Amino acid sequence: MRGGEKPKIEIHPLAHGELKDASALHERELRHEFLTRFGPGFLARYYKAFIESPYATALVARVPEVSGGERRLDGVLIGTFDTGAHYAYLVRDHGWTLTVYTVLQCLRRPKLAWDLLRTRLVRYARGVYRSLRYAVKSEKRESSQKTPERVGFLAYVATASDRRGLGIGKALVEAYAEQARMAGLDRLELVTLPDERGAGSFYTNMNWTYGGERVSRSGERYSLYRLSL
């Protein structure tokens, strides 16, 4: 690779055999995310749901030129094409396993149990309820005349810290946007933390537009970004 030239980035769908590596990468690079606290088993199952869901995608990036013979994941992204349908699927097909991992982690780590109870349990329970009701609601939606906007949600993207600045994050986001475009979506959305832990300008560099601040029910502030497709 000559000076200043970016290496070739290979993007492909996350495979089942790479789940352990993907969850390890998420754990290392997205430490501040609450979900990360549920541990590698939970994360691997969470990512598995994105691989298997008909309403979502999971992509990984490799830079063989830099890694040489070493088989490693340099970046990972998960996102939805239909957020309601994806989480309804996730709750139905992976919900029990994710619950078991959550309970086991909470038993091992009472601080996590307390934080979950205090800041998120009601929100998560509402989310599960909404997901269980999703099928009923979508039947009603189908019978109405209006075509709703189709919006996907970029859940997570992360690049290994020793591979940052090579264009991996950008390549992953662009590959996801292309898949979403091909699937006929109108728009993508994401939230990121508004401080230095977030990556707002990374997205505005790629033509995402700032859509204002949101406060979650647990009181955290997030910045919303949108990309028209």
Ligand X SMILES: CC(C)(COP(=O)(O)OP(=O)(O)OC[C@H]1O[C@@H](n2cnc3c(N)ncnc32)[C@H](O)[C@@H]1OP(=O)(O)O)[C@@H](O)C(=O)NCCC(=O)NCCS
Residues that bind ligand X (CB under 6 A): 29-30, 156-159, 164-170, 192, 199, 201-202, 205
CB 226 within 8 A of CB 209: yes
3-class secondary structure, 168 = helix
**Pairs from 196-203 (Cβ < 8 Å, separation ≥ 24):** 197/32, 198/223, 199/169, 200/225, 202/169, 203/173, 203/227
Distance CA 138, CA 19 (A): 31
For the bound state, the minimum distance from the C-beta of residue 206 to ligand X, rounded and expressed in Å, comes to: 7
Minimum Å gap between C-beta 148 and ligand X is: 25
Please identify, using beta-carbon distances, which residue of 47 and 134 lies nearer to ligand X: 47
* CB within 8 Å of 55: residues ≥ 6 apart: 80, 81, 82, 83, 85, 86, 89
In whole angstroms, the minimum distance from the beta carbon of 102 to ligand X comes to 21
- Cβ proximity to ligand X: between 45 and 170 the closer is 170
Residue number with CB closer to ligand X (124 or 202):
202
Instruction: Kindly state the smallest distance separating residue 107's Cβ from ligand X, in Å.
Output: 28
Residue 186 Cβ, how far from ligand X at the closest point, in Å?
22
β-bridge pairing 56-62 and 75-80: antiparallel
Residue with tokens 């006929």: 184
Q: Which amino acid is at 150?
A: R
Residue number closest to ligand X, CB atom: 169
Report the C-alpha gap between 45 and 153 in whole angstroms.
Answer: 19
Q: How far apart are CB 127 and ligand X at their closest, in Å?
A: 19
Task: Using CB atoms within 10 Å of the CB of residue 50, give its burial: 0 to 12 exposed, 13 to 18 middle, 19+ buried.
Answer: buried
**Shortest Å distance, C-beta 115 to ligand X:** 20
Q: Please identify, using beta-carbon distances, which residue of 97 and 179 lies nearer to ligand X.
A: 179
| 196 contacts: CB under 8 Å, gap ≥ 6 | none
By C-beta, is 113 or 193 nearer to ligand X?
193
Taking the least distance from each CB to ligand X, the nearer of 17 and 165 is 165
The smaller minimum CB distance to ligand X, of residues 34 and 202, is found at: 202
